[in-house]
């Protein structure tokens, strides 16, 4: 039977084999070398699962397994079908997009054609390159999202400035540890500062800056006690096929918001600011 399960947003991370090796990356907490393609088959072949948005994490791979190439080509071929979910792709950079297209033996236009949102962590810095990239994406009806993870030092960072100014939208990501690990206070304060700067750089379009949902959900949790959207509006599918509600649950504990350090740190920071305001 078709559509036995509905999940609004499915995020599929087919591999953790990323060559960037970013310090503190939550994905490194997961130990697996296999690729489980069941979720792709469930959504695009048997249709046992349906969703509103399907996100493919196109990591900066050191190699492309043939199995992954075959399954992605199969998904792309199905996209003349307008009943399929919005397809989103996350990639490290425009170079990553071009590399995936080459590996899949497609032109960049063919790769972009079914993609509703292309989300990149690194933005070009040259005006000519930005214009060409955005023009090519818009010609294929692909929205350009700058998926920026705050690391500190955003003031004067050209990648950050260009992304905030020229992307169609900017998703401002708080740097997070794996679920269950402590949340460094510095990462939270850096995010707060970057949020102010991003809105200023966006100029007349500050509404295109989208705050990290985990931060917003944590604020709401602290005020109202309502849990976040993990397991309700989103699910993350890991390379080994394990499904977690939280995309940062790389240890696959299936923990709830009580395992998350963000609400605790937000509350502590809020209390500190109150004390400082009284002292002043």
Q: One digit per residue, pLDDT tens: the chain, 280 residues? A: 577 899 999 999 898 766 666 666 666 656 556 788 999 999 999 999 999 999 999 887 777 889 999 999 999 999 999 999 999 999 999 999 999 999 999 999 999 999 999 999 999 999 999 999 999 999 999 999 999 999 999 999 999 999 999 999 999 999 998 898 899 999 999 999 999 999 999 999 999 999 999 999 999 999 998 888 887 888 999 888 888 889 888 888 776 677 899 999 999 988 886 655 555 5
Residue from 58, 57, 28, 54 nearest 39 by CA = 54
Helix (H) or strand (E) holding 55: strand 53-58
Residue 163, Cβ density class (10 Å: 0-12 exposed, 13-18 middle, ≥19 buried): buried
- DSSP letters, 247-268, are TT-TT-----GGG-SHHHHHHH
pLDDT digits (tens, 9 = 90+) for 116-146: 999 999 999 999 999 999 999 999 999 999 9
Contacts of 100 (CB under 8 A, 6+ apart): 58, 91, 111
Give domain 5-279's CATH number out of 1.10.3470, 2.30.30, 3.20.20, 3.40.50.
Answer: 3.20.20
Distance in angstroms (rounded) separating the CA atoms of residues 262 and 268:
10
Indicate if the alpha-carbon torsion angle 97, 192, 202, 54 is positive or negative.
positive
> Would you say 89 and 115 are in contact if contact means Cβ atoms under 8 Å apart?
yes
Whether the predicted model's global pTM rises above the 0.75 cut:
yes
Distance in angstroms (rounded) separating the CA atoms of residues 184 and 190:
10
Residue 249, Cβ density class (10 Å: 0-12 exposed, 13-18 middle, ≥19 buried): buried
Q: Helices (DSSP H) in 85-184: which residue ranges?
A: 94-103, 108-112, 127-139, 158-166
Distance in angstroms (rounded) separating the CA atoms of residues 64 and 18:
11
């Amino acid at each position: 039977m078709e559509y036995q399960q509905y999940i609004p947003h499915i995020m599929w991370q087919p591999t953790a084999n990323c060559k960037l090796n970013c310090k503190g990356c939550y994905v490194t907490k997961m130990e697996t070398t296999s690729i489980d393609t069941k979720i792709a088959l469930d959504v695009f072949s048997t249709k046992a699962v349906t969703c509103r948005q399907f996100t493919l994490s196109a990591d900066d791979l050191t190699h492309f397994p043939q199995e992954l190439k075959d399954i992605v080509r199969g998904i792309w071929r199905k996209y003349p079908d307008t009943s399929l979910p919005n397809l989103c792709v996350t990639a490290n950079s425009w170079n990553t997009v071009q590399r995936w297209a080459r590996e899949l033996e497609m032109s960049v236009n063919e790769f972009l054609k079914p993609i509703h949102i292309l989300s990149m962590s690194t933005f070009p810095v040259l005006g000519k390159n930005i214009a060409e990239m955005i023009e090519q994406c818009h010609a294929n009806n692909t929205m350009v999202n700058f998926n920026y993870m705050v690391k500190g030092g955003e003031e004067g960072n050209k990648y950050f400035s260009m992304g905030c100014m020229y992307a169609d939208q900017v998703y401002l990501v708080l740097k997070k540890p794996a679920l269950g690990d402590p949340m460094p206070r510095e990462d939270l304060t850096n995010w707060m500062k970057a949020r102010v700067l991003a809105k200023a750089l966006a100029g007349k379009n500050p509404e295109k800056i989208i705050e990290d949902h985990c931060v917003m959900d944590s604020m709401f949790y602290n005020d109202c006690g309502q849990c976040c959207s993990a397991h309700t509006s989103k699910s993350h599918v890991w390379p080994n096929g394990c499904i977690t509600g939280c995309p940062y649950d790389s240890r696959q504990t299936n923990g709830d918001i009580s395992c998350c350090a963000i609400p605790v740190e937000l509350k502590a920071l809020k209390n500190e600011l109150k004390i400082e305001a009284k002292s002043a």
